[in-house]
Structure 1
Amino acid sequence: MVCKDGNEMIYLLAFGFAKSECTKSWTWFLKKLRKVIQYPDRVMLVSDQQNGIFNAMEAIFLDAAHGVCAYHLAQNLKRFCKQRDNVIWLYYHATYAYCIEEFDRAMAELKETYHKVYDELLSAGVKNFSRVHSPKKRYFLMST
């Protein structure tokens, strides 16, 4: 949505109830949502990487960008090392960076000190978790 001053806005668009988070439920929900979205190429869907929603998004919203929820990804990263606080701080520093240099510094430190976390982030896809690399504007909304 675009305001009168030309700035874009982000807002809750829809919600639904289903028996479970599975591909069938998400496909139903996203098909309904797709009917009301005029410009799917402007959409940024953020999820927790659950297979059901990911599969449905791939099928229904071909033109939309997909992002990974920063909170859920952080929870997944905690299993890779015991010094969690520093790892999570570096991860969030990279995730919320507004410039590439800041992102690169945080990622370089992760690579040097917590290589498994660094590898896991690369496998998640930099454009999926990083604000500065996102194909769509995420503003401050990095989680579901």
Structure 2
Amino acid sequence: MIYPLAFGFANSECTESWTWFLKKLRKVIQYPDRVMLVSDLHNGIFNAMEAIFLDVAHGIYAHHLVQNLKRFYKQRDGVIWLYYRATYAYRIEEFDRVMSELKETYCKVYDELLAVGVKKFSRVHSSRKRYFLMTTIIASMNSCLLAV
């Protein structure tokens, strides 16, 4: 079962709206050093996170990063396969091996992933555990709200 932690309504997805939301969320999180927030690549979220949650680990939702890769690169299958292998690697050696392969075959993708930051998308480099957690996006919440 999915339990919503928090949601809010705003005029638009912008830094100001995300700052408002994350300030409210910050008030209810008692142990921020034990939390990892996972989001999409929206600039407003990144800006607000840097201002409000400096002590909280921030990860990228793997699905959103894959959607960007699919949108910008025609050789989808190879890129996606290597991205997932790197993302879900359990050992640094495995991650490094896959990233080297990605660098050799899709150098632009490799550079973009490094620009995002390996701590944000890689399980093995994450500063917090990225598993044993249920995360959701508003699309899942929509079905819950419609039932009410």
TM-score in terms of structure 2 length:
0.82
State the partner residue of 1:29: 21
Give CA-to-partner distance per residue, 1:52-103, whole Å, 9 cap, x none: 1111111111110111121111122235532111110110110011111221
| Alignment of structure 1 residues 1-144 onto 2, 5 Å | 12-139=4-131
- Tell me: CA distance 1:140–1:77, structure 2 relative to 1, closer, same or farther (3 Å): farther
Secondary structure of 1:66's counterpart equals strand
Seen in structure 2, the aligned counterparts of structure 1 residues 97 and 11 have a Cα distance that, compared at 3 Å, is farther
Matched position secondary structure for 2:131: coil
- Tell me by how many angstroms 1:114 deviates: 0.7
Aligned residues: 135
Q: For structure 2, which runs of at least 5 residues remain unmatched after alignment?
A: 138-148
Tell me, which stretches of 5 or more residues in structure 1 are unaligned? Answer: 1-9
Contact 1:80 1:116 in 2 (8 A): no
CA distance in 2, matches of 1:129, 1:143: 16
Code of the residue aligned with 2:118 in structure 1: it is V
Cα 1:49–1:72 change in 2 (3 A) is: same
Higher helix share: 2
